[in-house]
């Protein structure tokens, strides 16, 4: 029973120039697409029609967009632009949208074409450009709201990461300017439960940042990628449970679960070097091994963390990998990039527990030519564990956006009529052809 990735729909109308990124709303069935025509398109995930266009705030391409979490009743969108500024946009969602997560009952199409039948004033349908965040010297590449605090992170070609605190509505104060990267910072991502920020850079490195006493500072450096790191993302706080039941595990598996629970959510990264890697926080209980590796200039041993490359996903992409997304529901990973492929991976218990990594038989669903490299290349961490899990390719779509590069993929809850279960997800892909496509995964 092979898993298949099936094209479901294209959002209409498409943008006629490159689209960079599509971000699903935290609780409404809508998605915001950052476009190189200086607009953001809002599409419905119920019928895949465009609901509105946000324009007029930026002088150059909008590269990225992020929704503020936990803002019931009002949607707040941040946009990052090549014009070096970030914008904060607001729109009231009305009484219907607030509350119980029954967002799908809201008819967003009403009122768009002259307010026919809409109970809201036309003004309420409008996106307000609330505030502009100036400070970066050059293009903003990515931005992200923290899930646990009123913080927004932005990053730029100027090699810096800025952290902004929203003191009250529309009043943002810069709380940190982090300048340790030696190249463009391509992506920022927050930890799901902690005030811990990850950044990925043109300098091929990943850094983690957190507040140390009063100042934000770099607490971890991950080296290894041999090209620009395009994207980083943390897994869900409950990621370990996607491996299935915690019962009837053998000794090795139990040890791995313990390791993962201690380490917390892992980080995934993808790069121009065509690899996708998973990083895990190393245990602090190995002072001998870690002491030798730590530069002495680090001031506070409790503050800084060591993160190890835990696994490499099967090598499918042939060109730079621009984006990778971790499903909050299933723990599956989807990736895309310059080769126009969309690939879905799954982590599972290694079946042949006693054998060496190299002898692992390839996964189903991949062609024979890939057999030698289609299973996780595992890295032995300093804690001496061989990974008890492996990653396999479960589905793949080639030429996902015709011959164009695909810039972004992300999971979102399914909301159209074809939805059969509450947990069902779709994959949203965004390409150089200006199209936003919706895909389903069937088991």
Partner 1 sequence: MEADKDNANPTIINPSDLPSRRRSAPTAKRPGIFDALAPAYPSLADAPSPPEALSDVSSDEEREEIDEQEVYDLISTISDPEHPLSLGSLGVVTLDDIKIVRPTSPRSRISTVTVLVTPTTSACSLTTVIGLGVKVRLVNALPPRFRIDVRIKEGTSKTADEVNKQLGDKERVAAAMENRSLVSVVNNMLATCE
C-alpha–C-alpha distance, residues 322 and 320, integer Å: 6
Give whichever of 347 and 405 is closer to partner 1, judged by the CB atom: 405
Write down the least CB distance from residue 139 to partner 1, Å. Answer: 5
Distance CA 58, CA 62 (A): 7
**Residue 122 or residue 398: which is nearer to partner 1 going by CB?**
398
**Distance spanning both ends of the chain, measured CA to CA:** 7
Separation between Cα atoms, residue 239 and residue 390, nearest integer Å: 15
By residue count, the chain amounts to 443
Q: Which of 91, 141, 225, 408 binds partner 1 (CB under 8 A)?
A: 141
Calculate ∠ Cα 349-258-283, nearest 5°: 115
Q: Give the phi and the psi of residue 6 in degrees, each rounded to 5.
A: -120, 135
Long-range pairs of 419-426 with CB within 8 A, sequence gap ≥ 24: 423/329, 425/327, 425/329, 425/330, 426/8, 426/45
Q: Which stretch binds partner 1 (CB under 8 A): 59-67, 147-155, 286-294, 413-421?
A: 59-67
Which one of residues 125, 166, 272, 390 is an interface residue with partner 1 (CB under 8 A)?
A: 272
Q: How far is the CB of 59 from partner 1 (least distance, A)?
A: 9
Shortest Cβ 1–partner 1 spacing (Å):
22
What does each C-alpha distance from 396 to 67, 250, 268, 350 come to in angstroms? 28, 32, 19, 21
Counting Cα atoms < 13 Å in the Cβ hemisphere of 325 gives 24
Per-residue contact track with partner 1, 398 to 437, x per CB under 8 A? xx--xxxx--------------------------xx----
- For residue 404, the minimal CB distance to partner 1 (Å) is 6
Can you tell me which of 157, 317, 332, 408 binds partner 1, judged by CB under 8 A? 157
Q: How many positions of this chain bind partner 1 (CB under 8 A)?
A: 29
d(C-alpha 207, C-alpha 223), whole Å: 9
For the record, the structure tokens of 247 come out as: 């019962």
Nearer to partner 1, 169 or 318 (CB): 318
Task: Single out the segment in contact with partner 1 by CB under 8 A; choices: 136-144, 234-242, 302-310, 377-385.
Answer: 136-144
Q: Which stretch binds partner 1 (CB under 8 A): 42-50, 121-129, 169-177, 396-404?
A: 396-404
**For residues 337-366, which are near partner 1 according to CB under 8 A?**
338-340
| 282-341 residues near partner 1, rule: CB under 8 A | 318-320, 338-340
Nearest distance from residue 186's CB to partner 1, in Å? 7
Q: Whole-number minimum distance, CB 140 to partner 1, in Å?
A: 10
CA pair distance 341, 337, nearest whole angstrom: 7
Q: Which is nearer to partner 1, 105 or 318 (CB)?
A: 318
Integer Cα distance of 70 and 150 in angstroms: 10
In order, the DSSP letters of 224-269 are --SS-EEEEEEPPTTGGGGG--SSS--HHHHHHHHHHHHH-S-EEE
Contact track, partner 1, 7-46, x by CB under 8 A: -----------x-----------------x----------
Closest distance between partner 1 and the C-beta of residue 286, in Å?
36
Query: What's the min distance (Å) between Cβ of 256 and partner 1?
Result: 35
Q: Which is nearer to partner 1, 292 or 403 (CB)?
A: 403
Instruction: Report yes or no: 276 and 321 within 8 Å, Cβ to Cβ.
Output: yes
CA 265 to CA 28: how far, in whole Å?
25
Q: Does 182 bind partner 1 (CB under 8 A)?
A: no
Residues within the interface to partner 1 (CB under 8 A): 18, 36, 60-61, 63, 82, 138-139, 141, 157, 184, 186, 202, 228, 272, 318-320, 338-340, 398-399, 402-405, 432-433
């Amino acid at each position: 029973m092979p898993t298949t990735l099936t094209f479901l729909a294209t959002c209409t109308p498409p943008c006629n120039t490159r689209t960079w990124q599509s971000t699903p709303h935290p609780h409404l069935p809508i998605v915001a697409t950052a476009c190189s025509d200086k607009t953001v398109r809002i599409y419905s995930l119920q019928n895949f029609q465009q609901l509105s266009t946000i324009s007029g705030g930026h002088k150059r391409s909008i590269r990225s967009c992020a929704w503020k979490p936990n803002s019931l009743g009002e949607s707040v969108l941040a946009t990052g632009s090549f014009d070096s500024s970030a914008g904060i946009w607001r729109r009231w969602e009305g009484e219907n949208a607030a509350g119980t997560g029954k967002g799908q009952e809201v008819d967003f199409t009403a009122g768009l074409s002259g307010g026919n039948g809409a109970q809201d004033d036309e003004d309420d349908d409008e996106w307000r450009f609330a505030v502009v965040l100036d400070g970066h010297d050059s293009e903003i590449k990515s931005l992200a709201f923290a899930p646990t605090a009123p913080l927004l992170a932005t990053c730029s070609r100027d090699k810096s990461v800025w952290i902004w605190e929203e003191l009250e509505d529309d009043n943002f104060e810069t709380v940190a300017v982090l300048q340790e990267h030696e190249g463009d910072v391509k992506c920022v991502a927050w930890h799901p439960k902690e005030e811990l920020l990850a950044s990925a850079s043109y300098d091929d490195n990943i850094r983690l940042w957190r507040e140390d006493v009063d100042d934000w500072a770099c607490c971890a450096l991950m080296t290894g990628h041999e090209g620009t790191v395009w994207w980083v993302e943390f897994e869900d706080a409950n990621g370990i449970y996607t491996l299935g039941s915690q019962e009837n595990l053998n000794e090795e598996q139990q040890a791995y679960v313990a390791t993962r629970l201690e380490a917390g959510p892992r980080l995934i990264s993808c790069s121009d070097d065509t690899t996708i890697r998973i990083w895990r926080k190393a245990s602090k209980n190995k002072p001998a091994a870690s002491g030798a590796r730590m530069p002495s200039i680090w001031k506070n041993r409790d503050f800084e963390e060591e993160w190890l490359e835990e696994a490499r996903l099967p090598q499918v992409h042939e060109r730079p990998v621009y984006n990778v997304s971790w499903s909050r529901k299933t723990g599956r990973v989807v990736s895309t990039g310059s080769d126009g492929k969309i690939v879905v991976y799954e982590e599972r218990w290694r079946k042949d527990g006693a054998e060496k990594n190299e002898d692992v038989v390839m996964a189903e669903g991949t062609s024979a030519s890939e057999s030698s490299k289609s299973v996780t290349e595992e890295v032995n961490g300093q804690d001496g564990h061989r990974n008890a899990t492996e990653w396999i390719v479960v589905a793949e779509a080639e030429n996902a956006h015709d011959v164009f590069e695909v810039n972004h993929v992300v999971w979102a809850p399914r909301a159209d009529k074809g939805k059969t279960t509450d947990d069902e997800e779709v994959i949203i892909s965004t390409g150089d052809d200006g199209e936003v496509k919706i895909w389903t995964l069937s088991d």
